[in-house]
């Protein structure tokens, strides 16, 4: 079983369309093939970003989004962060994702921003798109 961390852009993409790899990836939850990890700071970011006015397109209400995030909390490996690797990446919010991946012994960060995570191999972690990850677990 793989341990993974989901970058916020994956949830935004899945929220906007049920036609892409992000939605297919999220619809696999919970999975026997991978476990997602979540920290309090990343959960707060998910809440902040997904409930912004520009993401409330009418397909999902704020209450539905918050219910989904509570569901993620229920099925996720909740990980405390004891050591900060900052600054390692250009964006402090990306550092937060990396720190969670390191603390949870995750093999993958699922993201569309591959270049933002270009130097994380040192930690034994690979940034990968949802489509490539689904191919890896043979769900596409």
Please check the confidence at residue 140 and state whether its pLDDT lies above 70: no
How many other C-beta atoms lie within 10 A of the C-beta of residue 56? 15
Higher pLDDT, 139 or 100: 100
The confidence score (pLDDT) of residue 119 equals: 84
Least confident of 38-42, 87-91, 135-139: 87-91
pLDDT tens for residues 71-116? Answer: 999 999 999 987 766 666 777 778 999 999 999 999 999 999 999 9
φ/ψ bin of 116: left (φ > 0), alpha (ψ from -120 to 50), beta (otherwise): alpha
Task: Please say whether the structural domain 2-136 has been given the CATH code 3.40.50.1010.
Answer: yes
Handedness of CA 117, 113, 96, 132 (dihedral sign): negative
Would you list the domain boundaries of the chain? 2-136
Q: What percent of the chain has pLDDT over 70?
A: 94
SS3 127: strand
Please tell me the distance from the alpha carbon of residue 70 to that of residue 65, in angstroms, as a whole number. 9
Please tell me the distance from the alpha carbon of residue 90 to that of residue 42, in angstroms, as a whole number. 17
Q: Calculate the dihedral angle through the C-alpha atoms of 14, 78, 133, 112, rounding to the nearest 10 degrees.
A: 50
Please tell me the distance from the alpha carbon of residue 66 to that of residue 13, in angstroms, as a whole number. 16
* Summary mean pLDDT of the chain: 91
Please tell me the distance from the alpha carbon of residue 140 to that of residue 13, in angstroms, as a whole number. 18
């Amino acid at each position: 079983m793989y341990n993974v961390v989901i970058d916020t852009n994956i949830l935004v993409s899945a929220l906007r369309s049920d036609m892409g790899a992000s939605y297919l990836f999220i619809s696999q939850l919970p999975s026997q093939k991978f476990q997602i990890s979540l920290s309090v700071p990343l959960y707060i970011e998910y809440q902040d970003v997904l409930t912004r006015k520009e993401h409330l397109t009418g397909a999902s209400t704020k209450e539905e989004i918050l219910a989904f995030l509570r569901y993620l909390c229920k099925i996720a490996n909740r990980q405390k962060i004891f050591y900060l690797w900052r600054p390692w990446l250009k964006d402090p919010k990306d550092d937060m994702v990396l720190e969670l991946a390191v603390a949870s012994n995750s093999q993958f960060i699922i993201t569309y921003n591959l270049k933002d995570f270009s130097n994380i191999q040192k930690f034994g972690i690979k940034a990968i798109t949802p489509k490539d990850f689904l191919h890896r677990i043979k769900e596409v």
